[in-house]
Amino acid sequence: MSNHSTDSPDLWSHIVRGAVTDLRAQASASGEAMPPSALEDLQRIFSLASTLEEQLAALHSHHDLMNTISAMRGYAEMLQEDIGAQQPALNDSLTRLLKATANAAASATNGADAQRPPVMAAEPGFILAVDDLAENRELVARYLSRSGHLVVTAASGAEALRALAESDVDVVLLDLMMPDMDGREVLRRIKANPDWRATPVIVISGSQDMDGIIACIEAGADDYLFKPFNPVLLQARIKAGIERKRWHDREEQYRQQLERNEKFIRATFGRYLSDEIVTDILERPEGLELGGDLREVTIMMSDIRGFTSLSEHLGPAEVVAMLNRYLGTMTDIIMAHSGTIDEFIGDAILAVFGAPQRRDDDADRAVRCALAMQAAMQGINTDNAAAGLPALTTGIALNTGAVIAGNIGSERRSKYGFVGHPMNVTSRIEDHCRGGEILISDSTAVKLSGRYTLSDRRELEARGLDQTVVVHRIEEYRDG
């Protein structure tokens, strides 16, 4: 009775050795009838058998043994698939070798199932196989290429990272035990790169260290397969990985399309509405609902003095050019001070500070904005003079009060607007502005926290108003 158990390395080594010897004899008998590629695969099997003997004698690591057994099985399967039907005797020898290596792998993995059912089909993908052993890279490439996949290989971690940088890889098959840069470091770099982190990584290793497996999964590996790998299981994992990558790619395309659409919407509607109103509409589902609420705001009305008479002496193109130059400059200044442009009424501008977003310095920003607008008139008039157009002067009125702010109109057409008595008061103040003047109401003056020079206090008797309105002229802002 033998003293060896079925799990003994000596016993399964003996069985594998016998199967290889039998295969060598059958190959010698039928070698002349075999194509060169089959002869090359046979030579690889014999070379791997010698390597396995050396590894057993030197007590090599479990990882090395699994690599060698996996490669032997892979070449035997390839050879059986290529010439088995034409060489029945050689096919029987290959079958015995496959059974011997399967038993060897099962013994080395404590009885794990090592059967090899036919390879299942998967959606073709672009696969990167990373392994420092040439025979492992070749076998994986040949297995997967037969299923329609495009396979590239890398012999080192650095080579794998270069391949990822140059190609859109669907799945990475990664060996752990590699010199220089091991698989764990490659995995870490893949998952740390924003362009690669969504690429599924399947670790294939001869190591069955549970702590190492957990560490790989926690580092971002999508799966972990043991060598010698089962082709059906590998194909299933690759298929799942490709599907995940496809979903991610589609989601990324949708996200980019949504970003482009939002930029287009913001750019388009930003020509008609302030940035804050566009943001309010895009980011809040209720942003388009009709209705409003009571807000304290500072209202600005600006108007070109004598524009009607000026435009009567100019052609339409000149009027439009002059008006667009003025309105373009004023728009930039108002938006820079976070004002909301309600509308352009011919040459007049109606803007509000404090809606849709309220800030503590609404009144101060409105005043500083008005001063910046008047200061910009010099540049506008310089450009007008160069174009043969007349100089312009503007009057600006500011008033603070409670208005109803919100979406006003109908379901078919509405706008974000403002309604209330302070709007009328601002219009009446603007009627009294002379060219170059900024007039602010008492209600605005008391809200200011900055230091300004005020002059020319007036009491206005405005038509349509029951009481006088006290206004001041703003001269300058004294910083500090």
Domain boundaries, the chain: 9-108, 126-250, 285-477
The two tokens of residue 45 are 């099997």
DSSP strand pairing (348-353 vs 223-226): unpaired
Tokens 């009328």 locate to 424
CB 226 within 8 A of CB 109: yes
End-to-end CA distance of the chain: 104
**Alpha-carbon torsion, ordered 313, 316, 319, 323, to 10 deg:** 160
- Determine phi and psi for 356, rounding to 5 degrees: -75, -15
Domain 285-477 CATH assignment equals 3.10.330.20 = no
Q: How far apart (Å, rounded) are the C-alpha atoms in residues 300 and 438?
A: 10
* 231 preceded by a cis bond (ω within 30 of 0): no
Q: Between the CA of residue 73 and those of 261, 306, 406, what are the distances in Å?
A: 54, 95, 74
Write out the chain's pLDDT in tens, 480 residues. 333 344 455 555 556 666 666 666 666 766 556 677 766 776 777 676 666 666 665 555 566 666 677 777 777 777 666 665 667 766 666 676 666 666 666 555 554 444 444 444 446 889 999 998 888 888 888 888 878 888 899 999 999 999 999 888 999 999 888 888 988 999 999 999 998 989 999 998 877 777 878 888 888 888 888 776 677 778 888 888 888 888 888 888 888 887 777 676 666 555 545 566 666 656 655 544 445 678 899 999 999 998 888 888 888 899 999 999 999 999 999 989 989 888 888 889 999 999 888 889 999 999 999 999 999 999 999 999 999 999 999 999 999 999 988 777 665 666 767 888 899 899 999 988 999 999 999 999 999 987 888 888 888 876 767 778 899 999 887 765
Q: What's 120's DSSP letter?
A: P
Q: Between the CA of residue 332 and those of 45, 337, 339, 361, what are the distances in Å?
A: 76, 9, 10, 19
- Fold agreement (126-250, 285-477): no
CATH domain 126-250 topology: Rossmann fold (3.40.50)
